[in-house]
Chain A
Amino acid sequence: MSARPIVRRSASRLHRHAAVALGLLAAAAAWAQPGARPAPTPQPGALSPSAGRCGVCHPAERVKFDASQHAHEGVRCTSCHGGDDRSLTIELAHGGNFRGRTARKDIPALCASCHSDEKMMRAYNLPVDQYAVYQTSVHGQRLKRGDTAVAVCSDCHGAHDILGPGDPASRTFAPNIPATCGACHGDTTLMRRRGVKDAYREYLSSIHARELLDRGNLRAPTCVSCHGVHGAAPPAVGDVDKVCGQCHTAERRYFAASAHIEGMRRAGLPECSSCHGDHAIQAAQPERLATSCAQCHAADSDQAALGAKLWTEYRAAAAEIEKADSLITRADAIPIQTDDYRARIEQARTYLREALPAAHSVDPVIVGGFTLRARSVGSEVESEIYGKLGNLRTRKFVLILFWFYVLVTLAILRRLRYRTAKAH
């Protein structure tokens, strides 16, 4: 063979390597792009459909704005800032009705100039009452009194980079809301100056936050679920049960029918939060039946004794169910048909779980109705499985009979053997 093909082959290999390297570079570059929405690279002098020529001098703002919901809907820089976005000279661009940076106290009104316009918002199916609602909120009230260190529209929604609440990158996307509120409400000095508690950290320790942030349950409550969105304010005494009852309907129903509701309102005690706390709410703990009552009532009172009684009943039922459950596992290993028992234990567990919301009625008849039913189903299943396990013991009795039979048979065969030998 001559040397030429070898040279050519090595050359083509070089090309291939270069192509692979380039491809890898391109892939790496594509991978390095932040976010799902590819940000358009600013090109000086070129016209941007939304930012006009403003981006020539304000590239950072332009990049943010181009990715925003507003840019998609044809809002321009000039819509909020005024001026002329077709001009490249500062005098002309910043001339005319140019407003520049809007003062914080004027931001709500500026946003409202569009967002309170029913005609403009109708196409987007957006409400137009946010401005009015905002003014009723604690934020709005303080702003009116001249405190500009309160949340205005841009603090929660962003300024240039406003996104809808359905966008995971948005500050108003449900799992991002705690951090959005926490930007201020987690600032201890800022809050202490206004006499507001630092609720952000408390919330992060709650079952609600764990559901929302750790397990990604978008139905779990965020700050706005209880405090309202634009009309953010703490719920008043007398309203707490309504707020919590939006989700905890069964608890609210029982609580509303209980002796507690009237007494607590008279005493000025907030309903749910008196026992459960407000922000650091934890998962249902049945053992609180035993301790909660004594928080308000005397330790030796009838009421505290009632709590202890409910807890005892609950525990007895739970123990019964656990016992039945372990029996079922034992029966499965034999195996015995247990599907029906499993179904009934599931039913018993349902009763037991129902007892917890029912405990808000503080009525021993109602709560006992559930716990006793759970307990009786558990013990029924238990005794039935014991019955079936007892059937297994009959196998051993049958074995004794069987051996008796075997011995008699062997005796007969031995006699036969003997007679056969004799005849032989």
Chain B
Amino acid sequence: MSEAPRNATPDPGDTARAARGGWVEWLERRINLSELFSLITHFGLVYTPVDTRKPLREVLREIGSLPVTAYARWPQVLGVLAALLFALQTATGVLLAYYYRPTPEAAFESTRTIVRDLPSGWFLHEMHAWGAYLLVAVVALRLMRLFWDGLYRAPRELLWFAAVAMAWLVLQMDFTGRLLTWNAQSYWSTVRGMEVVWALPVAGPILAFFLGGRVVNEDVLIRFYVLHVIVLPAFYAACIYVTFGTLRRVGLSYPSAAGARVVTSFRAHLVDLLILTVLLFAVLVTLTTLLPFGFLAPADPYTTPAGVRPPWYMLATYALLQRAPVPMWLSGGVMLAAAFGVLLLPLWVRGDGGPRHLRRTRLWGVVALAVWIVLGILGATLDRP
């Protein structure tokens, strides 16, 4: 398949440019561009060695016509969306960090400066907030999708571990980022969230130790900041790397019922990604413009505003801690066990992966999700004035 374009007659425009001496050729005479470019193969983006003796244009053409498995269904896009959104979050996050100051005195004021006084600061701020919202949704949906299709068994355990780790990391990035604006709502939802963290047996005190204590003060703020902008994104990027590398090795998942694989060229795959990016960006911009999160009053550690609850993904945990008729360490332990149970799914779910087995595990998954949703609704109704 990849033979045809390589042996095809060269594009007349291309030869003309070569004769004119395009800037690529000009550079090529001085630097081995193909050698530089070959690094992409090391990131798992292209699963083929690059022949660095050939000129760059030819290398690109070869890579462009490499056969690649096409996305057959929309759920497969979730993984790449998680990476695209992360890139977008990185871009907006870096720009926000240019003006943000992580101290209790300056956090709110600097955020207000960004949102109010800087040109398109509001746009970047809202994009970041909506991006986070979508990212949480995407990693959660992706996890469900992998579970539904039973994609945690060999040889895909690593993908599953990475996906669970990504979900954890996204939730933690959301939790830490929430505090940074230091407004009334975010401050108090973090205070509530810290209650949940603290209630986890063994892990709670350890986490609180790393987060700077139970009391949300300047130490906690700067640690949240460091976690949010450096530590957690680094781990997330590592997970993306692991995912890409593993995917190139084990290939895209195909349910046995889907039939033959659709194979396309790498170039078409890139165009698909581009289309996806544009769509994602457009959706984000639309949400940002039409449904901005708005701007709230600064946090006052001495006044709790009414109706503050932990972020929605913590509502179930919160309800379990506040309303369950069991000691706190037990309900915290249940949450911890659930989190690790999901991570270590490949260890304890055994079976042939056949339709019967799949049906049974799916049932368990649906029950777990239903419990989680019911608890979440319960948590949302707690302390409602």
A–B direct contact (CB < 8 Å) = yes
Answer whether residue A124 sits at the interface, using C-beta atoms and an 8 A cutoff: no
Q: Please encode chain B, from 292 to 328, with 1 for each CB lying within 8 Å of some chain A CB and 0 for all others.
A: 0011100000000000000000000000000000000
Residue contact A409 to B271, C-beta cutoff 8 Å = no
Of the stretches A148-156, A219-227, A396-404, the one at the interface is A396-404
Shortest distance between the CB of A391 and any CB in chain B (Å): 11
Answer whether residue A119 sits at the interface, using C-beta atoms and an 8 A cutoff: no
Answer whether residue B257 sits at the interface, using C-beta atoms and an 8 A cutoff: no
Shortest distance between the CB of A417 and any CB in chain B (Å): 4
Expressed in whole angstroms, the Cα–Cα distance for A117 and B180 within the complex equals 74
Q: Indicate whether A333 sits within 8 Å of B294 (C-beta atoms), given known contacts A414-B275, A417-B271, A420-B265.
A: yes
Answer whether residue A416 sits at the interface, using C-beta atoms and an 8 A cutoff: yes
Residue contact B115 to A335, C-beta cutoff 8 Å = yes
Which residues of chain B have C-beta atoms less than 8 A from A398's C-beta? 289
Interface on chain A toward B: helix, strand, loop, or mixed SS? helix
Task: Select which of A332, A337, A395, A420 is within 8 A of B268 by beta carbon.
Answer: A420
Answer whether residue B5 sits at the interface, using C-beta atoms and an 8 A cutoff: yes
Which residues of chain B have C-beta atoms less than 8 A from A267's C-beta? none
Which residues of chain B have C-beta atoms less than 8 A from A332's C-beta? 295
Residue contact A413 to B275, C-beta cutoff 8 Å = yes
Shortest distance between the CB of B96 and any CB in chain A (Å): 16
Answer whether residue B117 sits at the interface, using C-beta atoms and an 8 A cutoff: yes
Residue contact A334 to B289, C-beta cutoff 8 Å = no
Residue contact B295 to A335, C-beta cutoff 8 Å = yes
Expressed in whole angstroms, the Cα–Cα distance for A347 and B138 within the complex equals 52
Answer whether residue B274 sits at the interface, using C-beta atoms and an 8 A cutoff: yes
Q: Please give the number of chain B residues whose Cβ is less than 8 angstroms from any Cβ of chain A in the complex.
A: 28
Q: Please encode chain B, from 132 to 174, with 1 for each CB lying within 8 Å of some chain A CB and 0 for all others.
A: 0000000000000000000000000000000000000000000
Answer whether residue B282 sits at the interface, using C-beta atoms and an 8 A cutoff: yes
Residue contact B282 to A406, C-beta cutoff 8 Å = yes
Q: Which residue of the partner chain A has the closest CB to B1?
A: A424
Which residues of chain B have C-beta atoms less than 8 A from A283's C-beta? none
Expressed in whole angstroms, the Cα–Cα distance for A403 and B286 within the complex equals 9
Which residues of chain A have C-beta atoms less than 8 A from B290's C-beta? 396, 399
Which residues of chain B have C-beta atoms less than 8 A from A420's C-beta? 265, 267-268, 271
Residue contact A334 to B279, C-beta cutoff 8 Å = no
Q: Which residue of the partner chain A has the closest CB to B111?
A: A335
Answer whether residue B214 sits at the interface, using C-beta atoms and an 8 A cutoff: no
Q: Which residue of the partner chain B has the closest CB to A414?
A: B275
Expressed in whole angstroms, the Cα–Cα distance for A402 and B278 within the complex equals 11
Residue contact A417 to B286, C-beta cutoff 8 Å = no
Which residues of chain B have C-beta atoms less than 8 A from A406's C-beta? 278-279, 281-282
Which residues of chain B have C-beta atoms less than 8 A from A403's C-beta? 282, 286
Which residues of chain B have C-beta atoms less than 8 A from A413's C-beta? 271, 274-275, 278
Answer whether residue A410 sits at the interface, using C-beta atoms and an 8 A cutoff: yes
Which residues of chain A have C-beta atoms less than 8 A from B295's C-beta? 332-335
Which residues of chain A have C-beta atoms less than 8 A from B294's C-beta? 333-334
Residues of A within 8 A of B (CB): 332-337, 395-396, 398-399, 402-403, 406, 409-410, 413-414, 416-417, 420-421, 423-424
A/B interface sample: 6 pairs, CB < 8 A: A333-B295, A334-B294, A395-B289, A406-B279, A409-B278, A413-B271
Across the A-B interface, give the 4 residue pairs with the lowest CB-CB distance, nearest first: A406-B282, A424-B265, A335-B116, A417-B271
